[in-house]
């Protein structure tokens, strides 16, 4: 190697730089490195590193601190270093890089072309291998969101994301799953559906996310009660024993391309329906699900605002699901307000346990919605007659079997010995006139709960005291806000006082409708 | 401050991290920082830092090395730290950031809307203040390239880029400039036009770029003869004394938004004509030019492939130039082959000096093209009669005044006492059949010269021995390649041997046509 290098460009010593650049390969060169000046590299240039037959693409950052990299070194951020797989000190050659081969397809998409399955496979592979910079990923996402994807392109993209990741195998003919497209605070039906469906004997290995922009994800709420960060082995063992789990899905490497796309999509505020379909279905199929019930809330402050939009989204899910062998049913649900009473991890966990414990104060809308959805999943069971699912689900809940199963799952995952309480700093927002609650703004309620500290402060959040259809008199409380920190209390109070988020009507309003309204 | 912080989220100590992330604000948090876990930040999240009434947006990188940042610290990369303007150790609060306000306009552009001048001003300001991440800039560029910009939008964008940067003032009624849209190797006419036009007495303060993807930029070639990195004061003094200069333009802060856009555009391979018009004209106007001659080479391997495309590009330049008070003339030139004989800094500098010294071996096409372009610029002079410019330019060249002026400029900038020679490792590529040279592939010749080591090795490059229209016999040499390093010699040889880049025709071919063919 040293001999061969004599008549080549000077090589640089490889160094690991302990910076996590989240699946973008970043390389660090010192500003006084001769190669940096000579090659006309600039910060942001894409470069290629070679050593011992291996090569890797990376985006360049220029360093002025010799403690990070010295003039004779080339640094690689954590994941790039791991992917390159060469030892520190290796003599690495560095060159300008060409864009990844599949960028040619991205350029065709920008020009308005339809892409083939092979195109999407090429793109997904190059993204998985970190050959795309964030900027190139953004170009792909914007091109897709602007030109749109027809339903076959959504199918190709879903399949490509699936084929470039790992896939769980459960060795069972029926693996049930449930997913909500999001946007409704307090919608913690999974924590009821899993124990009910598992108690019926069906396999439902549910993994969930933490909140990113919402006041609580299912993983945050379950964490009030039990440990959710499980190793793959623990997860399998719990599912084998109890037929279900409620774990955090962040550790699995399922559909990694989807994770990378989301990491760029989110800061851009891109949320195209095409991308949503491909993202959800690739993740569910990778998790080994065979049957999926999809919850699509519809309402003026939900993600899906109207019936036309809801039906067109449902058809796209069905089209792709059918062609990938996933039994999929999508139900449209009432999204005019948050579900249940609590918003925020502790308050939502309280609602869930009240339903399971058949507390007379349990929120009826959460109970009804969970029973309807669980019933539809139970009807995936070939031995259950159509229309019987709901009453089976109700029997399981009322017999206490759902509660028992939930306690088994909590104990198996690791019960929290000291669950947190609702935040002790509270205020109430009252009605300024009499009327019937016509709508409760989902965005605004989520925002108030986050300002109050959720999900960071587990006990922070909003407790809804009136729901759609309820009659209120002027001066009666609409909701109570809980916080743990004085500053957050003030932020939430200031925001909630400006606009309560409630819309009142002089006429009576139809209360919550569980499904397919 | 410490008292106010008591009931707020914990603050972090500010630290400067000496990494240059090229005008993207990057912040560094240690993985064990409590805020990082609690807030649900992820690498790539956009965060906002507050201190003492100032705020700054940055993209997050997560660090595992306490020497870079510790768990109680928040690091900022160089430019972000400078922009924030707060001292190291300051107690900084950190929060999730909202996207910059003007992203709303970018989203409208994605949806196909036309943007107003105010929209572009908002975007340009936010980009200049580094409120955009690279990913957001990519979204803007792809949206623009996909939806297109009408000519008024190009005007708005140009004006916005101009209004958000500094602007040079020369205090003269006529400041001449010349620009080529690029893509033709060896096209070093600026180094002839500047001394001719300056000798005529017109002001022509030319700044040029270094090669990025080409084998030589004007700055690289001039650097063979003289120093090109001049301070603004030096540049002004030289221009005042000699009416012209040939400097590197990289140090000025003209149209900074354009620089940022280009840094994202280039790795994406985006090169939309709309963007090109806005980029070139904002830079020229910022440099204080009042009169611009624009060289648009047309040919099958040039940037502009055909007459339709060339005329439409010219009209866009004219439309925007007219409305911004820039006297602009765009000429279409012969782009069927490289200009002159040499490709690479030393060989191109040799061609230029041969023309100035009236060497009988001087490449006639470079001489003719430079005289025609210089003539057109001289006709910007109100005292010169239309059609007289060419003969004035020729007189200046033939009288030796152009050479004298070039020597004055070289001495003023700082003559290179020991100019490098052509690379000593050479090989020739010969014709495999007899015929007339019909075309010489610009891309391929540039590639061979770069493989041979240009512009890194100043003496590396290609010397064209036959040009379009020349008759060659089988076995006669077409061009000679110079390299300085054995490995580069081999790379270039291997590539050139596969395909010479020359197209021969059995029929006679019209030789080089200087302009408006």
Answer whether A38 touches B (CB < 8 Å): yes
> Best interface-test mutation with A: which of B4, B9, B18 has the largest number of A CBs within 10 A?
B18
Q: Which of residues 421-450 of B touch A (CB under 8 A)?
A: none
Find out whether B92 and B12 touch, Cβ atoms under 8 Å: yes
Per-residue model confidence (pLDDT) at position B43: 56
pLDDT tens figures, B110-161: 888 999 999 999 999 999 988 898 899 999 999 998 888 999 999 999 999 9
Give B263's contacts in chain A (Cβ within 8 Å).
42-44
SS3 assignment for A386-433: CCCHHHHHHHHHHCCHHHHHHHHHHHHHCECCCCCCCCCEEEEEECCC
Answer whether B40 touches A (CB < 8 Å): yes
Phi, psi of A344 (to 5 degrees): 120, 150
SS3 helix, strand, coil % of chain B, rounded to 5? Answer: 40, 20, 40
Beta bridge partners, A429, equal A479
Per-residue model confidence (pLDDT) at position B481: 98
Per-residue model confidence (pLDDT) at position A2: 33
- In this structure, the answer to whether residues A40 and A80 fall within a common structural domain is yes
Give the separation between CA A333 and CA A349, rounded to whole angstroms. 21
Give the separation between CA B286 and CA A423, rounded to whole angstroms. 57
Going from the C-alpha of B6 to that of each of A209, A282, B9, B417, the distances in angstroms are: 32, 46, 8, 65
Residue A458 belongs to some domain of the structure? yes
Q: Which of residues 465-504 of A touch B (CB under 8 A)?
A: 485-487
CB contact under 8 A, B45 and A267: yes
CB contact under 8 A, B268 and A135: yes
Phi, psi of B463 (to 5 degrees): -115, 110
- In this structure, the answer to whether residues A378 and A440 fall within a common structural domain is no
pLDDT tens figures, B439-471: 999 999 999 999 999 988 999 999 999 999 999
Give the separation between CA A246 and CA B235, rounded to whole angstroms. 69
Give the separation between CA A362 and CA A19, rounded to whole angstroms. 47
Answer whether A146 touches B (CB < 8 Å): yes
pLDDT above 50: residue B204: yes
The alpha-helical segments, DSSP class H, found in B226-344 are 232-242, 256-268, 273-286, 307-323
Residue A472 belongs to some domain of the structure? yes
Residue of B nearest to A450 (CA): B39
Phi, psi of A356 (to 5 degrees): -65, -40
| Tokens encoding A332 | 């449209």
- In this structure, the answer to whether residues B88 and B199 fall within a common structural domain is no
CB contact under 8 A, A487 and B78: no
3-state secondary structure of B255: coil
Task: State chain A's mean pLDDT as an integer.
Answer: 91
Number of domains in chain B: 4
Region B351-366 average pLDDT: 97
| Tokens encoding B463 | 């010397």
Give the separation between CA B110 and CA A265, rounded to whole angstroms. 14
pLDDT above 70: residue A39: no
Residue A168 belongs to some domain of the structure? no
User: HSE on the CB side for A206, CA within 13 Å?
Assistant: 31
The residue among A80, A96, A112 that closes a domain is: A96
Per-residue model confidence (pLDDT) at position B2: 33
Residue A140 belongs to some domain of the structure? yes
pLDDT above 50: residue A5: no
Find out whether B274 and A142 touch, Cβ atoms under 8 Å: no
Minimal C-alpha gap between B46 and chain A (Å): 7
| Tokens encoding B361 | 């071996």
Which of A196, A220, A225 is CA-nearest to residue A210? A220
DSSP secondary structure letters along B138-154: HHHHHHHHHH---HHHH
For residue A477, the enclosing domain spans: 425-505
Region B495-510 average pLDDT: 95
Find out whether A376 and A389 touch, Cβ atoms under 8 Å: yes
Residue with tokens 């690498």: B43
- In this structure, the answer to whether residues A283 and A365 fall within a common structural domain is yes
Find out whether A16 and A74 touch, Cβ atoms under 8 Å: no
Residue with tokens 């060497």: B359
Angle at B317 between CA B311 and CA B320, to 5 degrees: 140
Q: What CATH number did the domain enclosing A125 receive?
A: 1.20.970.10
Region A141-151 average pLDDT: 89
- In this structure, the answer to whether residues A134 and A223 fall within a common structural domain is no
Give the separation between CA B155 and CA B157, rounded to whole angstroms. 5
Answer whether A269 touches B (CB < 8 Å): yes
- In this structure, the answer to whether residues A181 and A306 fall within a common structural domain is yes
pLDDT tens figures, B57-106: 998 888 999 999 998 999 999 989 999 999 999 999 888 777 789 999 99
Find out whether A473 and A417 touch, Cβ atoms under 8 Å: no
Question: pLDDT above 70 covers what percent of chain A?
Answer: 95
Start-to-end CA span in chain B (Å): 71
Give the separation between CA A301 and CA B443, rounded to whole angstroms. 54
Count, residues in chain B:
517
Minimal C-alpha gap between A61 and chain B (Å): 5
DSSP class of B208: E
Q: Which of B99, B211, B269 sits opposite A40 (nearest CB)?
A: B211
Residue A501 belongs to some domain of the structure? yes
pLDDT above 70: residue B496: yes
pLDDT above 90: residue A40: no
Per-residue model confidence (pLDDT) at position B125: 95
Which of A181, A204, A514, A463 is CA-nearest to residue A316? A181
Residue A513 belongs to some domain of the structure? no
3-state secondary structure of A276: helix
- In this structure, the answer to whether residues B188 and B316 fall within a common structural domain is yes
pLDDT above 90: residue B8: no
Q: What CATH number did the domain enclosing A376 receive?
A: 3.40.1030.10
Task: State chain B's mean pLDDT as an integer.
Answer: 91
> Best interface-test mutation with B: which of A1, A11, A18 has the largest number of B CBs within 10 A?
A18
- In this structure, the answer to whether residues A92 and A118 fall within a common structural domain is no
- In this structure, the answer to whether residues A399 and A335 fall within a common structural domain is yes
pLDDT tens figures, A413-423: 999 999 999 99
Q: Identify the band that residue B6 occupies on the pLDDT scale cut at 50, 70 and 90.
A: very low
Answer whether B38 touches A (CB < 8 Å): yes
Give A44's contacts in chain B (Cβ within 8 Å).
22, 24, 134, 263-264, 267
Residue with tokens 């009910």: A196
Answer whether A324 touches B (CB < 8 Å): no
How distant is the alpha carbon of residue B20 from its chain centre? 21
Residue B494 burial (CB count, 10 A): 10
- In this structure, the answer to whether residues B193 and B219 fall within a common structural domain is yes
Answer whether B75 touches A (CB < 8 Å): no
Q: What CATH number did the domain enclosing B479 receive?
A: 3.90.1170.30
Per-residue model confidence (pLDDT) at position A253: 73
Q: What CATH number did the domain enclosing A60 receive?
A: 2.40.40.20
- In this structure, the answer to whether residues B268 and B249 fall within a common structural domain is yes
Find out whether B247 and B256 touch, Cβ atoms under 8 Å: no
Give A136's contacts in chain B (Cβ within 8 Å).
138, 267-268
CB contact under 8 A, A135 and B212: no
Find out whether B236 and B171 touch, Cβ atoms under 8 Å: no
Find out whether B103 and B46 touch, Cβ atoms under 8 Å: no
pLDDT above 70: residue A390: yes
pLDDT tens figures, A334-370: 999 999 999 999 999 999 999 999 999 999 999 999 9
More confident residue, A391 or B165: A391
Per-residue model confidence (pLDDT) at position B23: 75
3-state secondary structure of A41: coil
Q: Identify the band that residue A148 occupies on the pLDDT scale cut at 50, 70 and 90.
A: confident
Q: Which of A46, A59, A267 sits opposite B44 (nearest CB)?
A: A267
pLDDT tens figures, B25-53: 999 999 888 776 556 566 567 888 999 88
The residue among A111, A138, A163 that closes a domain is: A163
Find out whether A65 and A116 touch, Cβ atoms under 8 Å: no
Packing angle between helix A190-199 and helix A364-378, nearest 10 degrees? 40
3-state secondary structure of B475: coil
Residue A515 belongs to some domain of the structure? no
Region A207-217 average pLDDT: 85
Per-residue model confidence (pLDDT) at position A45: 75
CB contact under 8 A, B64 and A18: yes
Minimal C-alpha gap between B116 and chain A (Å): 20
pLDDT tens figures, A424-450: 999 999 999 999 999 999 999 999 999
CB contact under 8 A, B40 and A8: no
Per-residue model confidence (pLDDT) at position A517: 46
CB contact under 8 A, B22 and A42: yes
Residue A214 belongs to some domain of the structure? yes
pLDDT tens figures, B205-225: 999 888 877 899 999 999 999
- In this structure, the answer to whether residues A346 and A494 fall within a common structural domain is no
pLDDT tens figures, A481-515: 999 989 889 989 999 999 999 999 999 998 877 66
The residue among B62, B81, B96 that closes a domain is: B96
Per-residue model confidence (pLDDT) at position A492: 93
Active site amino acids of A: 271
Beta bridge partners, A95, equal A48
């Amino acid at each position: 190697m040293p001999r061969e290098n004599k008549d080549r460009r000077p090589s640089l010593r490889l160094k690991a730089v302990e910076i996590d650049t989240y699946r973008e390969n970043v390389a660090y060169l010192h500003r006084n490195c001769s190669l940096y000046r000579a090659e006309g590299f600039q910060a942001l240039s894409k470069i290629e590193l070679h050593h011992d037959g291996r090569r890797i693409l990376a985006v360049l950052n220029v360093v002025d601190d010799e403690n990070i990299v010295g003039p004779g070194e080339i640094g690689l951020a954590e994941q790039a270093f791991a992917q390159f797989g060469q030892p520190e000190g290796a003599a690495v050659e560095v060159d300008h890089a060409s864009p990844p081969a599949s960028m040619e397809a991205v350029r065709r998409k920008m020009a308005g072309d339809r892409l083939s399955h092979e195109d999407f496979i090429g793109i997904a592979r190059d993204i998985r291998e970190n050959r795309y910079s964030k900027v190139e990923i953004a170009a792909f996402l914007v091109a897709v969101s602007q030109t749109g994807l027809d339903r076959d392109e959504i199918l190709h993209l879903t399949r490509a994301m699936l084929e470039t990741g790992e896939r769980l195998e459960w060795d069972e003919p029926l693996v049930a799953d449930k997913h909500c497209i999001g946007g409704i605070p307090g919608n913690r039906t999974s924590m009821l559906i899993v124990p009910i469906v598992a108690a019926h004997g069906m396999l439902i290995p549910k993994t969930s996310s933490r909140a990113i922009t919402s006041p609580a994800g299912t993983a945050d709420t379950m964490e009030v009660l039990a440990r959710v960060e499980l190793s793959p082995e623990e997860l399998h063992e719990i599912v084998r024993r109890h037929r279900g789990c409620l774990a955090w899905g962040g550790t699995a490497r399922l559909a990694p391309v989807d994770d990378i796309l989301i990491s760029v999509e989110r800061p851009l505020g891109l949320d195209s329906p095409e991308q949503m379909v491909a993202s959800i279905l690739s993740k569910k199929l990778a998790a080994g699900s065979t049957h999926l019930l999809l919850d699509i809330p519809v309402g003026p402050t939900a993600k899906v605002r109207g019936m036309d939009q809801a039906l067109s989204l449902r058809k796209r899910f069905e089209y792709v699901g059918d062609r990938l062998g996933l039994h999929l049913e999508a139900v449209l649900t009432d999204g005019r307000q948050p579900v249940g009473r609590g918003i925020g991890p502790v308050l939502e966990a309280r609602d869930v346990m009240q339903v399971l414990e058949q507390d007379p104060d349990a929120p009826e809308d959460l109970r009804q919605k969970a029973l309807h959805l669980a019933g539809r999943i139970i009807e995936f069971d070939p031995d259950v007659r159509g229309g019987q699912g709901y009453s089976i689900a109700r029997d399981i809940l009322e017999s206490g079997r759902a509660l028992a199963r939930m306690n088994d799952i909590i104990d198996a995952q690791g019960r929290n010995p000291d669950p947190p309480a609702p935040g002790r700093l509270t205020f109430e927002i009252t009605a300024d006139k009499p009327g019937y609650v016509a709508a409760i703004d989902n965005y605004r309620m989520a925002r108030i709960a986050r300002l109050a500290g959720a999900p960071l402060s587990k006990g922070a959040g909003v407790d809804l005291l009136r729901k759609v259809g309820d009659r209120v008199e002027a001066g009666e409380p609409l909701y109570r806000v809980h916080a743990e920190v004085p500053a957050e209390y003030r932020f939430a109070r200031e925001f909630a006082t400006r606009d309560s988020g409630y819309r009142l009507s002089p006429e009576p309003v139809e209360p919550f409708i569980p499904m397919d309204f």
